[in-house]
């Protein structure tokens, strides 16, 4: 049977044998039929179950007319903002408007509205009144409760309230959306669908399903003003995000109540294999050819996702709140079949760009006890120190990589997803470490120590910097042993909750000590669904209840960021101000530990400094930006 894209026109729906589709999927992204795009997965899962799903990507949101493209769907509308939150898509951490959108035709911005899920749902209501609407995807999932919104700088209501949708599918939604579709197909009214795991709904207080165990309720009127209550509410939500141990949670909105059912169990290996074996076109829909395609496909077209979930526990990451902390993975056979499909593509050059996922080197739950009791509510697997029950074993991942390497047409397999280096160091067998360095690094390996301050790292949920130093030393020794010249590219973050200006100075000194000149630095970005965002808003660590300092002043954020790139001429004034504020004038001078020199005399030296020709020790060096990675010799000092 010939593979086809899902219908995007009424004629294509009729060609599928129906006058109207069962569902219309309204999405903030352009339509890319690839398993790295959530809309494609949900559409294919429903198609596999016999439903006709019409795709309505990036409709005109200024009126309700576009929502009538296919007529009133038989069962309802599915709505998501796309692969990322629409506000994150549109604005930088400094709240400046982005000029590009990699999930839109030609990378052009402006194809989707701010708060896309809310806007789309309200346009659907204008068009069809009481038609069933189910929302899902990252934007809906992470905004399912009352949530701090960085762009409005206030606590907003659940997106379910503002969108006027009927059901919210949170997390990875294959099972929940299929169950909802089956119930609607049986004629059950959408307002009666109340018991599907992995969903949330609004109802009158007396109409809710009465679970034997429900976590204590909070009222939105309290949450929007009481920061301590808000932090406590998030802690309850975070701890109940496991399919085995999680309970139902309620939240009040006047006379109505939001009910989140317990999480849906994750897809097991056979189920994941089935999802990834569906007939994806693995391509951008041809309607975008005239615009030059959709840039987002370039990073994933020749990549393979082999796992889901993450027990890493970084506080600034929403994965734990969306995919969960219990890891599941595909079979080796399933991944190899996908590699064979990629290898047969006409534009494949022999390089698999990535065999990864949320964390590339996780293939199984962190311990066998998770399969019976669920993830530990009050503990983490890797921080502050690795749990004694941690199963740090890369044997199956090695076997997987070796199998993909043997696929005819594959020249090289790279790993570009995040590698959890503290987990690697817990493996008593160096086989994966050696294979990674020898076979799977494309010149540079990206890792995420994020900071060096012990306190800031605890606030981040990251291991002590000594762990990264041990990994760094081992990486360069292994690289040298393999006869290679490779680099580490550490991700660093400025202004994370807990980081004072003095901590940023210490990080700048650490950067200098290891000989690193980071080309990019990430400012902390408060996004829904993370513990770090709660810290930013409330000044409270929701998982410990302790007070946390947070840099919310724009000028202080500028100073912290500038310190992490202290050698840049354009940052000199800010670095000077930061050092004076911290009383660290000792770092202004000519000594080996100094970050910047005093004001230079003479126009020649000033001009040379601006061009980046004068190094920190006074000797000539390449222009700024040329030495951006951590070289082996410097990394071993």
| 234 within a domain of the structure (yes/no) | no
Mean pLDDT to the nearest integer, 592-597: 92
pLDDT for the residue 379: 85
| Same domain flag for 508 and 378 | no
| Same domain flag for 422 and 313 | yes
| Same domain flag for 379 and 450 | no
| 229 within a domain of the structure (yes/no) | no
Least confident of 208-212, 334-338, 481-485, 618-622: 618-622
Mean pLDDT to the nearest integer, 135-145: 97
pLDDT for the residue 617: 38
pLDDT for the residue 211: 74
| Same domain flag for 502 and 536 | yes
**Residues counted in the chain:** 637
| 100 within a domain of the structure (yes/no) | yes
Mean pLDDT to the nearest integer, 620-625: 36
| Same domain flag for 614 and 571 | yes
| 161 within a domain of the structure (yes/no) | yes
What are the CB-based long-range contacts (under 8 Å, 24+) for 615-621? 616/512, 616/567, 617/592, 618/590
Give dist(CA 147, CA 533) in Å, integer: 10
List, as one string, the DSSP characters of 515-576. Answer: T---S--EEP---TT-HHHHHHHHSB-TTT--B------HHHHHHHHHHTTTTSGGGHHHHH
List, as one string, the DSSP characters of 218-281. Answer: EEHHHHTT-HHHHHHHHHHHHHT-STTT--EEEEEETTEEEEEPPPPPPP-HHHHHHHHTS---
pLDDT for the residue 374: 87
Residues near 345 by beta carbon (within 8 Å), at least 6 away in sequence = 282, 302
Domain with 79 in it: what CATH number?
Answer: 3.40.50.280
**Torsion of the alpha carbons at 228, 230, 235 and 236, rounded to the nearest 10:** 120
| Same domain flag for 395 and 460 | no
pLDDT tens-digit readout, 112-132: 999 999 999 999 999 999 999
pLDDT for the residue 614: 37
Give dist(CA 179, CA 11) in Å, integer: 28
Domain count of the chain? 3
pLDDT for the residue 636: 38
**Phi, psi angles (nearest 5°) of residue 134:** -115, 125
| Same domain flag for 437 and 455 | no
pLDDT for the residue 418: 86
pLDDT for the residue 613: 39
Spatial contact of 421 and 277, defined as CB atoms under 8 Å apart: no
Average pLDDT of the chain is 91
Find, among 39, 105, 112, 102, the residue nearest to 287 by Cα. Answer: 105
pLDDT band at 628 (very low <50, low <70, confident <90, very high): very low
| Same domain flag for 186 and 47 | yes
| 207 within a domain of the structure (yes/no) | no
| Same domain flag for 24 and 171 | yes
pLDDT for the residue 336: 98
pLDDT band at 600 (very low <50, low <70, confident <90, very high): low
pLDDT band at 372 (very low <50, low <70, confident <90, very high): confident
| Same domain flag for 523 and 425 | no
Last residue of a domain, one of 134, 164, 197: 197
Mean pLDDT to the nearest integer, 372-392: 89
Give dist(CA 459, CA 527) in Å, integer: 16
Give dist(CA 581, CA 472) in Å, integer: 32
Spatial contact of 130 and 119, defined as CB atoms under 8 Å apart: no
Mean pLDDT to the nearest integer, 445-452: 93
| 388 within a domain of the structure (yes/no) | yes
Mean pLDDT to the nearest integer, 461-470: 96
Cα dist from 1 to 4, 16, 142, 279, 322, whole Å: 9, 13, 38, 10, 35
pLDDT for the residue 602: 52
What's the whole-model pTM score?
Answer: 0.90
Residues near 92 by beta carbon (within 8 Å), at least 6 away in sequence = 98
Helix (H) or strand (E) holding 200: strand 199-204
Give the sign of the dihedral formed by CA 549, CA 551, CA 553, CA 555: positive
Give dist(CA 247, CA 522) in Å, integer: 35
DSSP one-letter code for 300: H
If you search the block for the tokens 């680099």, which residue do you land on? Answer: 487
If you search the block for the tokens 């590699």, which residue do you land on? Answer: 339
Domain with 362 in it: what CATH number?
Answer: 3.30.750.210
pLDDT for the residue 601: 60
Helix (H) or strand (E) holding 615: none
Q: What six digits make up the tokens of 323?
A: 């995919």
pLDDT exceeds 90 at position 321: no
Residues near 509 by beta carbon (within 8 Å), at least 6 away in sequence = 587, 593, 595
| 114 within a domain of the structure (yes/no) | yes
Helices (H), 104-158: 116-128, 137-142
Last residue of a domain, one of 424, 442, 460: 442
| 566 within a domain of the structure (yes/no) | yes
pLDDT exceeds 70 at position 426: yes
pLDDT for the residue 1: 59
pLDDT for the residue 635: 40
| Same domain flag for 485 and 633 | yes
| Same domain flag for 574 and 438 | no
Residues near 602 by beta carbon (within 8 Å), at least 6 away in sequence = none
Find, among 559, 562, 565, 494, the residue nearest to 532 by Cα. Answer: 494
CA angle 544, 375, 461 (to 5 degrees): 40
pLDDT band at 571 (very low <50, low <70, confident <90, very high): very high
Give dist(CA 42, CA 55) in Å, integer: 11
Q: What's the domain range around 22?
A: 10-197
If you search the block for the tokens 């390996």, which residue do you land on? Answer: 445
Burial class of residue 51 in the structure, from the number of CB atoms within 10 Å of its CB (0-12 exposed, 13-18 middle, 19+ buried): buried
Q: What is the distance between the terminal CA atoms of the chain, rounded to a whole angstrom?
A: 60
* More confidently predicted of 636 and 236: 236
Give dist(CA 245, CA 338) in Å, integer: 34
Last residue of a domain, one of 408, 442, 476: 442
Give dist(CA 622, CA 552) in Å, integer: 36
pLDDT tens-digit readout, 53-101: 999 999 999 999 999 999 999 999 999 999 999 999 999 999 999 999 9
Domain with 469 in it: what CATH number?
Answer: 3.30.750.200
Q: Facing residues of 218 across strands?
A: 251
Helix (H) or strand (E) holding 503: helix 501-513
Half-sphere exposure of 138 (CA within 13 A, CB side): 21
């Amino acid at each position: 049977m010939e593979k086809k894209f899902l219908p995007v026109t009424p004629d294509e729906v009729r060609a599928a044998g129906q006058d109207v589709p069962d569902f219309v999927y309204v999405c903030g992204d352009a339509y890319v039929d690839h398993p790295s795009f959530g809309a494609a997965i949900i559409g294919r899962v429903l198609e596999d179950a016999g439903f006709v799903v019409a795709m309505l990507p990036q409709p005109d949101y200024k009126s309700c007319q576009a929502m009538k493209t296919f007529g009133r769907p038989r069962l309802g509308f599915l709505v998501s903002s796309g692969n990322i939150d629409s506000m994150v898509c549109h604005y930088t951490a400094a709240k400046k408007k982005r000029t590009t959108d990699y999930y839109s035709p030609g990378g052009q911005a402006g194809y989707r509205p701010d708060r896309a899920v809310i806007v789309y749902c309200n346009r659907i209501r204008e068009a069809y009144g009481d038609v069933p609407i189910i929302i899902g995807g990252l934007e809906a999932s992470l905004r399912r409760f009352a949530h701090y919104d960085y762009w409005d700088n206030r606590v907003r209501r659940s997106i379910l309230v503002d969108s006027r949708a009927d059901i919210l599918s949170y997390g990875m939604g294959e099972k929940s959306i299929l169950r909802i579709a089956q119930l609607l197909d049986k004629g059950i009214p959408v307002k009666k669908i109340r018991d599907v795991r992995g969903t949330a709904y609004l109802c009158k207080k007396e109409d809710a399903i009465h679970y034997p165990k429900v976590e204590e309720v909070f009222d939105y009127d309290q949450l929007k003003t009481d920061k301590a209550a808000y932090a406590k509410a998030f802690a309850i939500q975070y701890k109940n995000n496991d399919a085995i141990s999680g309970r139902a949670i309620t939240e009040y909105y006047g006379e109505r109540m939001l009910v989140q059912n317990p999480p849906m169990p994750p897809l097991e290996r056979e189920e994941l294999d089935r999802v990834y074996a569906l007939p994806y076109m693995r391509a951008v829909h041809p309607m975008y050819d005239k615009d030059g395609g959709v840039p987002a496909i370039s990073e994933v077209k020749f990549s393979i996702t082999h796992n889901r979930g993450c027990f890493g526990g970084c506080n600034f990451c929403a994965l734990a709140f969306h995919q969960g902390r219990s890891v599941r993975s595909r079979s080796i056979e399933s991944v190899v079949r996908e590699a064979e499909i990629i290898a047969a593509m006409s534009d494949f050059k022999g390089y698999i760009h990535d065999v990864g996922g949320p964390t590339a080197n996780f293939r199984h739950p962190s311990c066998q006890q998770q399969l019976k009791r669920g993830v530990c509510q009050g503990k983490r697997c890797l921080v502050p120190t690795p749990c004694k029950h941690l199963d740090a074993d890369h044997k199956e991942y090695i076997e997987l990589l070796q199998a993909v390497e043997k696929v005819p047409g594959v020249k090289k397999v790279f790993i570009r997803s995040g590698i959890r280096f503290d987990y690697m160091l817990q493996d008593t067998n160096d086989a994966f470490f050696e294979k990674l360095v020898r076979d799977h690094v494309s010149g540079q390996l990206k890792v995420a120590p994020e900071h060096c301050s012990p306190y800031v790292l605890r606030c981040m949920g990251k291991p002590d910097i000594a762990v990264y130093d041990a990994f760094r030393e081992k990486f360069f020794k292994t690289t040298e042993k393999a006869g290679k010249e490779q680099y580490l590219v550490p991700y660093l973050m400025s202004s994370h909750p807990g980081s004072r200006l003095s901590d940023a100075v210490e990080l700048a000194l650490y950067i200098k000590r290891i000989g690193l000149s980071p080309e990019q630095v990430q400012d902390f970005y408060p996004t829904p669904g993370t513990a770090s965002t709660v810290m930013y808003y409330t000044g409270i660590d929701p998982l410990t209840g302790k007070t946390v300092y947070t840099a919310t002043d724009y000028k202080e954020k500028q100073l912290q960021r500038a310190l992490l790139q202290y050698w840049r001429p354009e940052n000199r004034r800010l670095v000077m101000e930061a050092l004076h504020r911290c009383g660290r004038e000792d770092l202004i001078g000519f000594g080996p530990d100094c970050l910047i020199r005093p004001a230079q005399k003479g126009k020649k030296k000033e001009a040379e400094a601006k061009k980046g020709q004068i190094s920190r020790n006074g000797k000539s060096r390449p222009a700024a930006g040329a030495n951006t990675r951590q070289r082996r010799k410097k990394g071993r000092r």
